[in-house]
């Protein structure tokens, strides 16, 4: 036993202090996000003056510079909300499955959403953003259930690697299906391709307004489930002993995560690794309490995607690299690091 | 002092899927006392605790808490009265002791309510009662097995229930830590009047610390009563299929079981 310092009430002090530390991190992350958002509006393949930025943001489009700035505003907002949605979705999926590798991309959920949207475009003449979103959510949900079912087969239930493998296999299969759907349709190849790499480039206000309520619902569901997720992290038996209805809680949280992943994919295409990387970084900073982890992941996810978008605009001038590619470059090494760390425990 | 509760199983049958592990079992847990359940591996001890804490739905029969079926109670209401520490709980990587213990407060919190002063106090009390204040900010994965087991019990204390079911709380602990954990549970029973039901593998610890001893064999209760009534050579034979000599424990007066193997026993080796 370690030495015991019995200061009365000291644990209360400890708890208060850690709350303050977490709040500070959250505020710091928000400040960084605001800075990044300003940066995202100010820089791009076209250099603009301060005056043009001021006018462009307030809606003037008299010069090419102003117009460029004007177009960067919805793009920045889209990067923020998509990043937040994917990161929260990943945090919740990791919590629901107690699996450090869970992420809407790795579990195949974003590909499920993509296939649904692409099929909708090709066969059912899907065109409205509203239609994209609903279709994507249904596709995401069906895939999530299927991957979880496959990953749980056999001994030991849904272990992290089995689930990741099931997700990877499903993703691969869905990707070929998408090609099979798109190839014979020369007329939609371009729409699908630009959407599929994952981008926020062409953002306008209209789809943003359409997707907003979905994201709000998904976020509220996810955050609302955070105490259940905290209990389920201790194992289903402990959670049930603490009065959590485990099956219902798991379904509710997973639905929130699926709505977020589906809606984000519908407006920005599949963007990989945000949901995987961000919650891991956030756990190091604010700990494993989902009540903090979820909002903090939202802010950091927004920072990551905004940064990826800015970087993608700058490194390949005058062309642009899509955010999905930039996040994959950042995310793949992190994925490998996590696998290496968990392998010892799981195999 | 907490209210004494009446926990009982009536003609209980439980199992997994089609398979029945426990059939037609009757058990009355004495309120405000410590009960120990003993039995061989796979005889259904954990299954019985799961059924009593309604993790498993009975195939037949009922589990009653103060005369009400636990399966008809609201889950939070039950969780404020009856706590369970399962055999193998999980701790997420990096969780601190204070965070883990705080999660025991779940049944006392409203859906969207903030962490309250009552929660702070319950966590602080639980840490202090168990001399674990110094561990509060340590991550669980950095603790020894004994410290970790203690922290799980602290979490169960923070849940602040009148009835506490513990599945093998002393397994993996050295003898000193076993005694420490059982002393802690005895304090809890004496100071707060908590009704305790625990699965133990060490018959002698069970006989010393429990008021009421339940011996299970293949999903049935073979014998139950005071340790002096239950722990005898015939019971040991029936439960573990092993010969034993029972003497009086000179330190506590409880029965003390000395196993008889094939070797190192004077009269058997001639
Ligand atoms: N989740 C489960 N699914 C199916 N069968 C199970 C499950 N858990 C336990 N069993 C079976 O039920 C029987 C009783 O198991 P139980 O866990 O209750 O034993 P126990 O008395 O607690 O044993 P131990 O001392 O090893 O913990 C065993 O035959 C076991 O194989
Ligand atoms: Mg057991």
Residue A320: left if φ>0, alpha if ψ -120 to 50, beta else—which one?
beta
Rg (CA), chain B: 19
Give the contacts of B125 (CB within 8 A, at least 6 positions apart): B157, B158
Tell me the mean pLDDT in the region A92-110: 88
Inside any domain, residue B188: yes
Inside any domain, residue B148: no
Inside any domain, residue A12: no
pLDDT digits (tens, 9 = 90+) for B2-12: 567 889 999 99
pLDDT digits (tens, 9 = 90+) for A228-268: 999 999 988 899 999 999 889 989 999 999 999 999 998 88
pLDDT at A3 over 50: no
Q: At B111, is the pLDDT very low, low, confident or very high (cuts 50, 70, 90)?
A: low
The answer to which of A21-30, A175-184, B156-165, B195-204 has the lowest mean pLDDT is A175-184
Report the pLDDT value the prediction gives residue B245, as an integer from 0 to 100.
Answer: 92
Inside any domain, residue A16: no
The answer to which of A53-67, A296-310, B75-89, B122-136 has the lowest mean pLDDT is A53-67
Nearest atom in ligand 1 to B15's CA: 12
Q: Do A288 and B95 touch (CB under 8 A)?
A: yes
Tokens standing for residue B150? 């203690």
Q: Which residues of A257-290 are buried (b: 16+ CB within 10 A; e: fewer)?
A: bbbbbbbbbbbbbbbbbbbbbbbbbbbebbbbbb
Q: At A197, is the pLDDT very low, low, confident or very high (cuts 50, 70, 90)?
A: low
Containing B24, the helix (H) or strand (E) segment is strand B19-29
Report the pLDDT value the prediction gives residue A269, as an integer from 0 to 100.
Answer: 85
- Three-state SS string over A194-244 comes to HHHCCCCCCCCHHHHHHHHHHHHHHHHHHHHCHHHHHHHCCCHHHHHHCCC
* Residue A134 CB coordination number (10 Å): 19
Tally of structural domains, chain B: 1
pLDDT over 90 for what percent of chain A? 36
pLDDT digits (tens, 9 = 90+) for B128-180: 888 888 888 888 888 888 788 889 999 998 898 999 999 999 987 889 888 98
Inside any domain, residue B64: yes
Is A18's Cβ below 8 Å from some Cβ in B?
A: yes
Q: At B268, is the pLDDT very low, low, confident or very high (cuts 50, 70, 90)?
A: low
Report the pLDDT value the prediction gives residue B209, as an integer from 0 to 100.
Answer: 96
- Smallest CA separation from ligand 1 atom 17, residue: B46
CB B227 within 8 A of CB B204: no
pLDDT at A344 over 50: no
Inside any domain, residue B173: yes
Distances (CA, A) of A330 to A12, A40, A115, A145: 39, 19, 25, 28
Q: At A345, is the pLDDT very low, low, confident or very high (cuts 50, 70, 90)?
A: very low
| Residue A228 CA, ligand 2 centroid: distance in Å | 25
Helix intervals (H) in A43-63: 50-57
Give the contacts of B163 (CB within 8 A, at least 6 positions apart): B5, B7, B29, B65, B81, B82, B83, B194, B195, B196, B197
Shortest distance between the Cα of B196 and any Cα of chain A, in A, equals 15
Give the CB-side neighbour count of residue B69, counting CA atoms within 13 A. 9
Shortest distance between the Cα of B53 and any Cα of chain A, in A, equals 7
Report the pLDDT value the prediction gives residue B47, as an integer from 0 to 100.
Answer: 94
Q: At B59, is the pLDDT very low, low, confident or very high (cuts 50, 70, 90)?
A: very high
Q: At A190, is the pLDDT very low, low, confident or very high (cuts 50, 70, 90)?
A: confident
Q: What is the mean pLDDT of chain A?
A: 84
Inside any domain, residue B125: no
CATH of the domain at B196: 3.40.50.300
Report the pLDDT value the prediction gives residue A29, as an integer from 0 to 100.
Answer: 94
CB A214 within 8 A of CB A259: yes
SS3 assignment, position A344: helix
List of chain A residues whose C-beta atoms are within 8 Å of the C-beta of residue B96: 18, 287
* Residue B263 CB coordination number (10 Å): 7
Query: The domain containing residue B176 runs over which residues?
Result: 7-88+161-260
Q: Do B79 and A289 touch (CB under 8 A)?
A: no
Q: What is the mean pLDDT of chain B?
A: 89
Torsion of CA A108, A112, A117, A122, to 10 degrees: 110
CB B101 within 8 A of CB B154: yes
Please tell me which residue of chain B has the smallest CA distance to A9.
B124
pLDDT digits (tens, 9 = 90+) for A117-130: 889 888 887 778 88
Inside any domain, residue B139: no
Inside any domain, residue B104: no
Give the CB-side neighbour count of residue B126, counting CA atoms within 13 A. 28
DSSP string, A85-135: HHHHHHHHHHHHHT-TT--TTTTTHHHHHHHHHHHHHHHH----HHHHHHH
d(CA A234, CA B18): 28
CATH of the domain at A321: 1.10.3470.10
Q: Do A12 and B83 touch (CB under 8 A)?
A: no
Inside any domain, residue A333: yes
Mutate to test the interface with B, among A23, A156, A237, A248 (most CBs of B within 10 A): A237
d(CA A207, CA A264): 11
Report the pLDDT value the prediction gives residue A121, as an integer from 0 to 100.
Answer: 84
Inside any domain, residue A6: no
Distances (CA, A) of A52 to A46, A262, A306, A320: 11, 36, 21, 21
Inside any domain, residue A219: yes
Tally of structural domains, chain A: 1
pLDDT at A305 over 60: yes
Tokens standing for residue B22? 């426990």
Inside any domain, residue B31: yes
Give the contacts of A56 (CB within 8 A, at least 6 positions apart): A41, A48, A65, A66, A67, A68, A69, A70, A72, A73
Tell me the mean pLDDT in the region B18-47: 94
- Smallest CA separation from ligand 1 atom 11, residue: B42
- How many A×B Cβ pairs under 8 Å? 120
pLDDT at A331 over 70: yes
* Interface list for B 250-269 with A (CB within 8 A): none
pLDDT at A5 over 60: no
pLDDT at A1 over 50: no
CB B19 within 8 A of CB B209: no
Is A235's Cβ below 8 Å from some Cβ in B?
A: yes
Query: The domain containing residue A95 runs over which residues?
Result: 21-199+207-341
């Amino acid at each position: 036993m370690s030495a015991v310092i019995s200061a009365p009430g000291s644990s209360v002090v400890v708890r208060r202090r850690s709350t303050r530390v977490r709040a500070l991190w959250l505020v710091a992350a928000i400040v960084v996000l605001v800075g990044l958002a300003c940066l995202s509006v100010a820089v791009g393949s076209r250099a603009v003056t301060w005056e043009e930025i001021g006018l462009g943001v307030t809606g003037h489009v008299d010069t090419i510079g102003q117009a460029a700035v004007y177009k960067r505003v919805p793009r920045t907002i889209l990067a923020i909300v998509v990043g937040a949605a994917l990161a929260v979705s990943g945090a919740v999926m990791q919590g629901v499955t107690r699996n450090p590798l869970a992420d809407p991309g790795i579990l195949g959920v974003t590909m499920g959403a993509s296939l649904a949207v692409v099929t909708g475009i090709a066969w059912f003449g899907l065109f409205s953003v509203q239609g994209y979103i609903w279709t994507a959510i249904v596709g995401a949900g069906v895939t999530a259930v299927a991957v979880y079912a496959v990953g749980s087969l056999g001994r030991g239930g849904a272990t992290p690697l089995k689930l990741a493998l099931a997700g990877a296999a499903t993703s691969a299969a869905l990707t070929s299906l998408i090609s099979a759907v798109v190839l014979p349709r020369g007329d939609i190849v371009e729409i699908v391709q630009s959407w599929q790499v994952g981008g926020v480039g062409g953002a306008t206000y209209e789809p943003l307004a359409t997707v907003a309520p979905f994201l709000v619902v998904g976020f509220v569901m996810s955050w609302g489930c955070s105490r259940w997720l905290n209990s389920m992290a201790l194992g289903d038996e402990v959670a049930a002993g603490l009065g959590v209805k485990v099956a219902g809680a798991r379904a509710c949280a997973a639905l929130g995560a699926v709505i977020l992943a589906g809606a984000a994919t519908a407006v920005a295409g599949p963007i990989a690794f945000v949901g995987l990387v961000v919650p891991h970084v956030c756990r190091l900073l604010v700990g494993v309490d989902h009540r903090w982890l979820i909002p903090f992941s939202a802010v950091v996810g927004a920072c990551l995607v905004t940064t990826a978008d800015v970087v993608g605009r700058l490194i390949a001038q005058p062309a642009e690299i899509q955010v999905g590619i930039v996040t994959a470059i950042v995310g793949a090494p992190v994925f490998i690091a996590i696998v290496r760390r968990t392998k010892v425990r799981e195999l | 002092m907490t209210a004494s509760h009446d926990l009982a199983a009536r003609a209980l049958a439980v199992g997994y899927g089609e398979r029945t592990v426990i059939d037609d079992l009757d058990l009355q847990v004495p309120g405000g006392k410590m009960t120990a359940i003993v039995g061989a591996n796979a005889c259904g001890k954990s299954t019985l605790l799961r059924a009593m804490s309604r993790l498993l739905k009975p195939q037949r029969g009922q589990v009653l808490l103060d005369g009400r079926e636990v399966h008809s109670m609201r889950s939070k209401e039950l969780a404020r009265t009856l706590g369970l520490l399962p055999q193998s709980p999980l701790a997420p990587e990096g969780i601190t002791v204070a965070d883990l213990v705080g999660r025991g407060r779940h049944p006392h919190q409203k859906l969207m309510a903030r962490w309250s002063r009552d929660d702070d106090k319950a966590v602080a009390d639980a840490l202090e009662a168990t001399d674990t204040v110094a561990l509060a900010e340590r991550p669980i994965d950095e603790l020894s097995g004994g410290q970790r087991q203690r922290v799980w019990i602290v979490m169960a204390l923070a849940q602040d229930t009148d009835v506490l079911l513990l599945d093998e709380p002393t397994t993996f602990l050295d003898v000193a830590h076993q005694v420490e954990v059982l002393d802690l549970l005895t304090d809890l029973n004496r100071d707060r009047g908590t009704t305790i039901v625990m699965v133990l593998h060490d018959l002698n610890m069970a006989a010393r610390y429990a008021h009421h001893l339940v011996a299970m064999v293949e999903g049935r209760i073979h014998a139950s009563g005071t340790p002096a009534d239950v722990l005898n050579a015939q019971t040991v034979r029936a439960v573990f299929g092993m010969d034993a000599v029972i003497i009086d424990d000179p330190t506590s007066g409880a029965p003390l079981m000395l196993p008889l193997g094939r070797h190192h026993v004077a009269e058997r080796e001639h």
